Amino acid sequence: MKIPAAAARALSVHVSHAVERLDPRRYRQEASYVAALFARLDAIVYRGSNFTLELKSTVVCDRGPNSAESKWGADFGIVASIVSNDETAEKGVLGQAKRGSLVKLVPSEAELFRLQVMKMSVATTAMVGLEVPTSSSTTPTVRILEVPTMHGTVPIQHTFRTYEHRIQAPNPTEPLILLGEPVPLARYLYAELIRCLHGDTNRAFVSGLADSSLTALRAEARTIEG
SS3 assignment, position 70: helix
Query: What whole-number distance in Å separates Cα of residue 66 and Cα of residue 154?
Result: 35
| pLDDT one-digit tens code per residue, 144-191 | 999 986 443 444 444 467 788 999 999 988 999 999 999 999 999 999
Query: What whole-number distance in Å separates Cα of residue 113 and Cα of residue 69?
Result: 12
Distances (CA, A) of 194 to 68, 87, 112, 133, 145: 26, 13, 29, 23, 17
Q: What mean pLDDT is predicted for residues 13-24?
A: 92
Q: What mean pLDDT is predicted for residues 90-94?
A: 95
Query: What whole-number distance in Å separates Cα of residue 121 and Cα of residue 113?
Result: 12
What is the predicted pLDDT for the residue at 153?
42
SS3 assignment, position 80: strand
Identify whether the C-beta of residue 91 lies closer than 8 Å to the C-beta of residue 125. Answer: no
| pLDDT one-digit tens code per residue, 19-72 | 998 988 888 788 899 999 999 999 999 999 899 999 999 999 876 666 888 889
Q: Residue 197 gets which letter from DSSP?
A: S
What is the predicted pLDDT for the residue at 226?
30
